[in-house]
């Protein structure tokens, strides 16, 4: 009979189990690493060697934050309660210093490289690599006249791009969240596998996906690095300058670069933009201010707009894009909101407010909730799957 010892900690209940055979190395581990490990219930076992440490704490960003237990051999171990399926960032705090787990692949999140563990979603294969035709992901560099720097982007080309040299494709511009970068949608989000699998099933149109770095600043703008000094611009002012610079980079540099480099259908009816969290804010800012360039708009856990504590005004907010429902319907083929049902209110309140106001105002849109997921990659993977399947289709 399997023995399960449960310890109640300050912030979570954590279980130490002797049924080690039910655990297996996480698919996000570095080559050959046995830990971290996961089981079919979503529990995660973490193990790190720190024989001279006096206190070691495991910190999952959206989960347990608990003390690990020291073993006689100098290893510290812990088995969590079941975590929700998906990718979970974490750090290990050793005597006050946050460290990455040497057994885990590092992912760029929270403005640094950190550990993460993939907890499988039972029966779900839409974001896993499958035996279907595979698209290509390319690293590209382009010089921006806005920032006067070379900027990096990742570009997904659909499976038949090379074999159909006369075919042209619609484009989705897909943005990462705050503290992440242009690698996030591929490394953490697995966007290429999601698109490969949808296209193979005929559930999405073949498309090019462009993932750019969402941080941009003009040469005369100071870098954002911690709280601004007294007498300087506020964080909000610096953020707005960054958003404006990124808007110019996308509309004046990136889109022309993509259209001349790849076989795109270079018009608004074949151009979409979406993003998660901060990327959703950027998407709404850019697209609703440039409806001559975009006809598909998606915000995943982020929509931007007014920061005041009030409901949106459709006549004046969002550059007046919603003031005339009939005109908006002619221009925009899809307006999409995606959230996780377990996300904190601070992320969802304004999205739901806008959803309700748009519904009352007769503005057609899609509002979709991912059941049981937080402000995390599993929400956004599901959002992308649903959103991409709706793109570039006749109304």
List pLDDT tens digits, range 384-394: 999 999 999 87
SS3 328: helix
Which band of pLDDT confidence, cut at 50, 70 and 90, is reported for residue 347? confident
Determine the average pLDDT of the residues in 322-328: 93
Q: What is the rounded radius of gyration, in angstroms, for the C-alpha atoms of the chain?
A: 22
Please give the distance of CA 286 from its chain centroid, rounded to a whole number. Answer: 18
* Residue 325, both tokens: 């429902």
**Residue 368 sits in the same domain as residue 304:** yes
**Residue 322 sits in the same domain as residue 362:** yes
In whole angstroms, what is the distance from residue 44 CA to residue 23 CA? 8
Neighbours of 247 (CB within 10 A): 18
In a domain, 370, yes or no: yes
**Residue 74 sits in the same domain as residue 143:** no
pLDDT higher at 362 or 18: 362
pLDDT value of position 63: 75
pTM: 0.90
Give 105-141 pLDDT, tens digit per residue.
999 999 999 999 999 999 989 999 999 999 999 999 9
Average pLDDT of the residues of the chain: 90
**Residue 28 sits in the same domain as residue 106:** yes
Look at residues 26, 130, 10, 109 and name the one whose alpha carbon lies nearest to residue 58: 10
* Residue 220, both tokens: 């005369």
Helix, strand, coil abundance in the chain, percent, nearest 5:
25, 30, 45
Q: Please state the φ and ψ torsions of residue 185, each to the nearest 5 degrees.
A: -65, -25
In whole angstroms, what is the distance from residue 84 CA to residue 385 CA? 18
Domain boundary among 57, 86, 119: 119
Four-point Cα dihedral 314, 317, 319, 324, nearest 10? 10
Domain count, the chain: 2
Tell me which residue range forms the domain holding 208.
136-388
What is residue 18's DSSP assignment? Answer: S
Question: Which CATH number belongs to the domain containing residue 84 in this structure?
Answer: 2.60.40.10
**Residue 246 sits in the same domain as residue 278:** yes
Four-point Cα dihedral 72, 77, 78, 83, nearest 10? -160
pLDDT value of position 395: 62
Question: Which CATH number belongs to the domain containing residue 186 in this structure?
Answer: 3.40.50.1820
């Amino acid at each position: 009979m399997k023995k399960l010892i449960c310890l109640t900690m300050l912030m979570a209940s954590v279980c130490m189990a002797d049924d080690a055979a039910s655990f297996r190395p996480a698919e996000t581990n570095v080559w050959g690493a046995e830990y971290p490990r996961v089981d079919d219930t979503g529990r995660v076992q973490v193990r790190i060697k720190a024989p001279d440490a006096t206190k070691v704490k495991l910190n999952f960003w959206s989960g347990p934050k608990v003390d690990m237990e020291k073993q006689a051999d100098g290893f510290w171990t812990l088995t969590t309660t079941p975590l929700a399926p998906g990718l979970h960032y974490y750090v290990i705090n050793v005597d006050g210093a946050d460290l990455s787990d040497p057994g885990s692949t590092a992912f760029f999140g929270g403005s640094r490289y950190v550990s993460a563990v993939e907890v499988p979603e039972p029966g779900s294969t839409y974001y896993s690599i499958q035996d279907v035709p595979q698209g290509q992901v390319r690293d590209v560099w382009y010089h921006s006249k806005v920032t006067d720097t070379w900027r990096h982007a990742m570009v997904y080309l659909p499976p038949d791009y090379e074999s159909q040299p006369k075919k042209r494709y619609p484009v989705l511009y897909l943005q990462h969240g705050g503290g992440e970068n242009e690698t996030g949608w591929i490394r953490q989000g697995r966007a290429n596998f999601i698109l490969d699998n949808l296209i193979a099933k005929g559930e999405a149109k073949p498309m090019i996906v462009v993932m750019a770095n969402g941080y941009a600043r003009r040469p005369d703008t100071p870098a954002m690095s911690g709280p601004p000094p007294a007498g300087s611009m506020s964080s909000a002012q610096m953020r707005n300058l960054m958003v404006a610079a990124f808007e110019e980079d996308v509309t004046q540099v990136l889109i022309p670069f993509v259209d001349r480099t790849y076989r795109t259908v270079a018009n608004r009816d074949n151009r979409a933009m979406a993003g998660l969290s901060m990327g959703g804010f950027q998407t709404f800012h850019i697209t609703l201010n440039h409806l001559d360039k975009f006809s598909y708009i998606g915000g995943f856990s982020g929509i931007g707009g007014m920061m005041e504590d009030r409901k949106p005004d459709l006549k004046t907010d969002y550059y007046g894009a919603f003031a005339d429902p009939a005109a908006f319907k002619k221009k925009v083929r899809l307006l999409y909101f995606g959230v996780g049902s377990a996300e904190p209110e601070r992320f969802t309140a304004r999205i739901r407010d806008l959803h309700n106001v748009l519904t009352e105002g007769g503005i057609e849109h899609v509002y979709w909730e991912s059941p049981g997921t937080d402000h995390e990659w599993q929400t956004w993977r599901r959002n992308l799957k649903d959103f991409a399947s709706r793109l570039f289709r006749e109304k």
